[in-house]
Amino acid sequence: MPKMKTHSGMKKRIRITGSGKLRREQTGKRHLAEAKSTRRKRRLSGTVEVAPSHIKKAKKLLGI
């Protein structure tokens, strides 16, 4: 049976930590930034953990 390929879109969006947790960038910071407050944009910077309900699907797409 052939090897399973990693989903290209998912590997660009998610990072795996050393302990095996999944981290992602927060949404809402790519465009239309002028309308958003500085406080809101600053709060959206950085990474957050992937929601528990999405972890199983994300790992499957990453081939973990």
Q: For the chain, 64 residues long, give each residue's pLDDT as a single digit of tens.
A: 899 999 999 999 999 999 999 999 999 999 999 999 999 999 999 999 999 999 999 999 999 8
Q: Where are the domains of the chain?
A: 8-62
How far is 38 from 34, CA to CA, in rounded Å?
A: 9
Three-state SS sequence of the chain = CCCCCCCHHHHHHEEECCCCCEEEECCCCCCCHHHCCHHHHHHHCCEEECCHHHHHHHHHHHCC
pLDDT at res. 11: 95
How far is 6 from 59, CA to CA, in rounded Å?
A: 10
Which fold does the domain 8-62 belong to in CATH? Answer: Factor Xa Inhibitor (4.10.410)
pLDDT at res. 1: 85
Q: Look up the pTM and report it.
A: 0.82
